[in-house]
Structure 1
Amino acid sequence: MLYLTLRHYEYVCAVAQQGSLSAAAERLHVSQPALSTALARIETHLGHVLFQRRRGAPLTLTPRGRDFAKAAQALLDQAAQLETPGGASPVTQRLVLGCFADLAPLLLAPALRLLRQSLPELTISPRVDGFTRLTDALLQGDIDLALTYDLGLDASFERREIDQRFPQALVSPDHPLASHSSLPLAALAEVPLILSQEGLSLQHMLALFKTQGLTPRIAHRAASLELLRSLAANGEGVGVSYSAPQLGQSYDGKPLVMVPISDASAREPVILTSHGQPPAGSAQARAIQALSQGLATRHTGQLTDGAITMEQQADDV
């Protein structure tokens, strides 16, 4: 009969954190077949499955597996503390930081660096995903904090605004709109547009037009920001994005002009969010403090990138 040991708990936690048997086996210094066999025996002993297994996809915890892994990690942390002379040394704490996919190229690396400099005792694991999956992961406790836009979070989520962004219109240099210093949404409703195909991003953009009684003409729904920029640079329409990097050409080397969209209603806060308010002094609370201060300082002077004064609006409209 199998009796679960701390090593078995380590197996489960490593697979949960790494998302694959091969990565977990490398971290644990065991062979992948041995880890796979051990995991199957643990699940048999418990009488229920801990991980969902789908060909070509990472291993993901089942709801019961999530509860087990959380309790197992707490037990491992307690054991590590008991083994420390005097039991006084802090236990390594883990924090999972999520980031909305469109924002990740702009914010994730600076956020990780800030956390590792400010809180070196934390083990940080990043996760990049779409808005809905990030929200679900926050609700289920799979991630602790997320950097994202506030696209309809309910009141159970805590928010810290760290930036604010206006969308940019992306056009080729010879496009008639390229000479403008800013553009209203009304001008964009008259030309073919290239928008993100990400569900909530697309809905949010369409809602901006709808509030003004405008019906945009969508020429393309791009699967990535770089595809959106390339289509715009090649004259396939006007790209619209909140996350457009300040680069003067697309991946294929075509020149690209960015024109800020001036409507005040288009302003979108970038937030740091958690589900519920973390306890004072917890890893989450300390990470929120470090990120909200560090990222806001980093963006000082940049918060109004794309924000247009009323005088500029009057000149362009």
Structure 2
Amino acid sequence: MLYLTLRHYEYICAVAQHGSLSAAAEALHVSQPALSTALARIEDHLGHALFVRRRGAPLSLTPQGRDFAKAAQNLVDQAIQLEAPDNSSPALQSLVVGCFSDLAPFVLAPALRCLRETFPEVTVTARALNFAQLTTGLLQGEIDLAVTYDLGLDAGFDRQVIHQRAPWALLPPSHPLTGHSRLTLTQLANEPLILSQEGLSVQHMLTLFKSIGLTPRIAHRAASLEVLRSLAANGEGLGISYSAPLITQTYDGKRLVNIPISDRCAREPVIVASHGNPKPGSPLARAKDRLSQALSQRPQ
């Protein structure tokens, strides 16, 4: 006979989703002491803790708890689907949106607002990550949707293109090239360049130069967009980035000029990605479509 019931699995899912016993108890319509007792019994039966408890901090899943909660949510979803009269997809309860870190300042807040307005009953959370972390998160089911560049994703990922982005050259005002309204990769190839240290980003940029028969001079690889901007503003080289904030000052007060790079081969798709293709009409498919539509309508 099974010790854990479907209700026990619902308890685990609710606590994992809400991060606190009080919020989970309210959502489950049970008392907090009853939920706390049930959770302790579940962990005792399993022989290991599912949650890390720290005074004054939200409950967080242990590594074993993360795997258990994911499996429990799948079980609950299957039960919901079996009981649905038309065998429809289960309701979406939580949604984790990942975003490439350099894109996050431009699109993450609008993405969250769009999803929360469209699905007010869903708990929407966000994570700003690098390319490798986004890919791993999608593969492991820790991220449902990702807003990123179409780099490093194989055919196992489904993507919807939001728009195409051109890269920008970031220069100090005193540089001779600031007189141009647009620049080409050929004009930049002999300049000392500052690129992101993100592996796929560097590889992509080197491939662009190679495609037109050029080898760039890389002076620095910056750990963040703002470090890249600061180095460029201080004369350490010319920065190249697909993200160019509208502000013309760096953190240290130096001025910076942003000039678009016009090579068509350098334009890069920004996408909303998922691991696999969500079932048509499912809550995740609707969330993906709505997010893609909302972000594609934003000015670039």
TM-score of the alignment, normalized to the shorter chain, above 0.5: yes
**Cα drift, residue 287 of structure 1:** 0.7
Distance (Å, rounded) in 1 between the aligned partners of 2:22 and 2:131: 31
2:232 counterpart of 1:249: no
* Closer, same or farther: CA 156–92 of 1 in aligned 2, 3 Å: closer
Q: Residue 273 of structure 1 aligns to a residue in which SS?
A: strand
Deviations 1:151-191 (A, max 9, x none): 03111211111111111000111011111111111221211
**Counterpart of 2:131?**
131
How high is the TM-score relative to the length of structure 1? 0.75
Q: Residue 163 of structure 1 aligns to a residue in which SS?
A: strand
Instruction: Work out whether residues 93 and 283 of structure 1, in 8 Å CA contact, stay in contact via their aligned partners in 2.
Output: no
**Cα drift, residue 122 of structure 1:** 2.2
Q: Residue 177 of structure 1 aligns to a residue in which SS?
A: helix
Deviations 1:229-267 (A, max 9, x none): 111111111111001112211122211101111111110
Distance (Å, rounded) in 2 between the aligned partners of 1:206 and 1:79: 50
**Counterpart of 1:171?**
171
**Counterpart of 1:204?**
204
**Counterpart of 2:147?**
147
Q: Residue 178 of structure 1 aligns to a residue in which SS?
A: helix
Deviations 1:102-142 (A, max 9, x none): 11111110111111122223221212111111111111211
Instruction: Work out whether residues 17 and 94 of structure 2, in 8 Å CA contact, stay in contact via their aligned partners in 1.
Output: no
Q: State the AA in 2 paired with 1:137.
A: G
**Counterpart of 2:266?**
266
Distance (Å, rounded) in 1 between the aligned partners of 2:20 and 2:10: 10
Deviations 1:199-242 (A, max 9, x none): 11111112211222222222211111111111111111111100
Instruction: Work out whether residues 16 and 61 of structure 1, in 8 Å CA contact, stay in contact via their aligned partners in 2.
Output: no
Distance (Å, rounded) in 2 between the aligned partners of 1:80 and 1:279: 16
**Counterpart of 1:312?**
none
Within a 5 Å distance, the mapping from 1:96-245 to structure 2 comes to 96-245=96-245
Distance (Å, rounded) in 1 between the aligned partners of 2:236 and 2:9: 54
Q: State the AA in 2 paired with 1:181.
A: S
**Cα drift, residue 46 of structure 1:** 2.6
Q: State the AA in 2 paired with 1:273.
A: A
* Closer, same or farther: CA 11–234 of 1 in aligned 2, 3 Å: farther
Distance (Å, rounded) in 1 between the aligned partners of 2:188 and 2:245: 20
**Cα drift, residue 72 of structure 1:** 2.3
Distance (Å, rounded) in 2 between the aligned partners of 1:24 and 1:7: 18
Q: Residue 155 of structure 2 aligns to a residue in which SS?
A: coil
Q: State the AA in 2 paired with 1:121.
A: E
**Counterpart of 1:315?**
none
Q: Residue 292 of structure 1 aligns to a residue in which SS?
A: helix
Instruction: Work out whether residues 195 and 240 of structure 1, in 8 Å CA contact, stay in contact via their aligned partners in 2.
Output: yes
Q: Which moved more, 1:116-125 or 1:252-261?
A: 116-125
Distance (Å, rounded) in 1 between the aligned partners of 2:110 and 2:42: 39
Q: State the AA in 2 paired with 1:127.
A: R
**Cα drift, residue 145 of structure 1:** 0.9
Instruction: Work out whether residues 150 and 269 of structure 1, in 8 Å CA contact, stay in contact via their aligned partners in 2.
Output: yes
Aligned pairs, number: 278
Within a 5 Å distance, the mapping from 1:271-286 to structure 2 comes to 271-286=271-286
**Cα drift, residue 70 of structure 1:** 2.4
* Closer, same or farther: CA 16–236 of 1 in aligned 2, 3 Å: farther
Distance (Å, rounded) in 1 between the aligned partners of 2:137 and 2:9: 22
Instruction: Work out whether residues 131 and 152 of structure 2, in 8 Å CA contact, stay in contact via their aligned partners in 1.
Output: no
* Closer, same or farther: CA 179–60 of 1 in aligned 2, 3 Å: farther
Within a 5 Å distance, the mapping from 1:278-297 to structure 2 comes to 278-297=278-297
Query: Equivalent pairs: percent with the same residue?
Result: 65
Distance (Å, rounded) in 2 between the aligned partners of 1:292 and 1:105: 17
Distance (Å, rounded) in 1 between the aligned partners of 2:100 and 2:11: 29
- Compute the RMSD of aligned alpha carbons: 3.3
How high is the TM-score relative to the length of structure 2? 0.79
Q: Residue 169 of structure 1 aligns to a residue in which SS?
A: strand
Q: Unpaired runs of 5+ in structure 2?
A: 26-30, 53-58, 82-89
**Cα drift, residue 78 of structure 1:** 8.5
Distance (Å, rounded) in 2 between the aligned partners of 1:80 and 1:285: 18
**Counterpart of 1:85?**
none
